Chains A and B, each alone.
Chain A
């Protein structure tokens, strides 16, 4: 019963993951806050008015347009900008009504709306023609972050947009590969701890586990490369995390080549087990340790919007965690089938020899 339920559970989890990944809508976000190049009017010597266009994605500004509030923020300084006109759900015009002296040129843009909640565009406004004085203080308005009043949706990430869905495929592939290579590592240790004439069951386990792990590793590379082409505009970039992942897969390809190049079964088992120990150490260093000490373009690393504890909100977790578990269960099932098939193959060879 347990044998059956975890397999059904794995497939059910993946069916849920695929369905939600492709059907849950992306949440609203801010795309741009741009100068319309139309000076509207001037308000004396200390004020200037320029109109700006605010562009959103998936926003609902025609619902309660009078409640749309616009702010700009730098550090702890925050100031409102008047919204002149709401054109449609995703376009609104605002006036850049600011004092001549500002504490900064670069500002984050924020909006508050009853449906969309608080949306944020980092460094969305760069003002020119103002006197910059870091000690200048702006009047502080009432500002309170609001949550969106929308059904289940994935969070909006600048530049990533809809490709955030790849998180449910790409990252669990590596987790599953890590699990399978871990199984191979333990099997290799047990193989080496046996006497020289011991059973080759652990060797078969290690081999089957690496074979299935390689499938997930290659799928991880493919999903990552496809995402990179779409988001960064290149299939591959010279990045420590990406290169580390590729080297890891190549190291395990070396394991399979090593196995194929040795005829003697006992020698093959021992050599492969020793190689596998080093391969797992390399995997851990290249995928888990090294990326934490280097700058990388990869999401989750410095300077790039990613899936850290802040970005991975509850809507993503509700799909991401089942995805990790589902892919791991599928990988373990594939490994078991591969092992059974290999053992059967050995039995049939022995029968043929007899």
Chain B
């Protein structure tokens, strides 16, 4: 199959015939899982910052009222 595929399209034949597709698949999985972890951390940070900002807004409102 490898040789025939090489004749049809050299890049496809090289990519799938030499097992490099497994490496690319693995790297893609690592990237998407890494993206998920990064988004997870970012969301948590934003939530923490949001809580801090809300507390500060409330305290500044209270001091203004006082």
Does A340 contact B47, Cβ atoms closer than 8 Å? yes
B43 and A337: CB pair below 8 A? Answer: yes
B residues 26-47 in Cβ contact with A at 8 Å: 26, 28-29, 32-33, 35-36, 39-40, 42-43, 46-47
Within 32-60 of A, Cβ neighbours of B (below 8 Å) are at 55-58
Tell me whether B1 and A57 are in contact (CB under 8 A). yes
Proximity string of chain B (11-29) to chain A, C-beta cutoff 8 Å, 1 when within and 0 when not: 0100110000110111011
Taking a contact as CB atoms under 8 Å apart, the answer to whether A26 and B53 are in contact is: no
- Least distance between A352 CB and chain B CB atoms (Å): 11
Assess the A11–B25 pair: CB atoms within 8 A. no
Report the separation of the CA atoms of residues A23 and B32 in the bound assembly, to the nearest whole angstrom: 16
Q: Answer yes or no: B66 CB below 8 A from chain A CBs.
A: no
Given the complex of chains A and B, what is the CA–CA distance between A210 and B5 in angstroms? 42
CA distance A18 to B21 in the complex (A): 11
Within 8 A of B (CB), among A304-341: 333-334, 336-337, 340-341
Interface string of A336-349 (1 = CB under 8 A from B): 11001101100110
Q: For residue B25, which residues in chain A have a CB less than 8 angstroms away from its CB? A: 18-19, 21-23
A334 lies within 8 A of B8 (CB): no
**Given known A19-B29, A31-B8, A89-B1, contact A351–B36 (CB-CB < 8 A):** no
Beyond A56-B4, A58-B5: 20 further Cβ-contacts under 8 Å?
A10-B36, A11-B36, A18-B32, A19-B29, A21-B28, A26-B16, A57-B8, A58-B1, A89-B1, A162-B15, A162-B16, A336-B43, A337-B39, A337-B46, A341-B46, A344-B50, A347-B54, A348-B53, A351-B53, A351-B56
Q: List 13 A-B contacts (CB under 8 A).
A: A7-B40, A18-B28, A21-B25, A22-B22, A23-B22, A31-B8, A57-B1, A161-B12, A162-B15, A333-B39, A337-B42, A344-B53, A348-B53
| A contacts, CB < 8 Å to B | 7-8, 10-11, 14-15, 18-19, 21-23, 25-26, 31, 55-58, 89-90, 161-162, 333-334, 336-337, 340-341, 343-344, 347-348, 350-351, 354
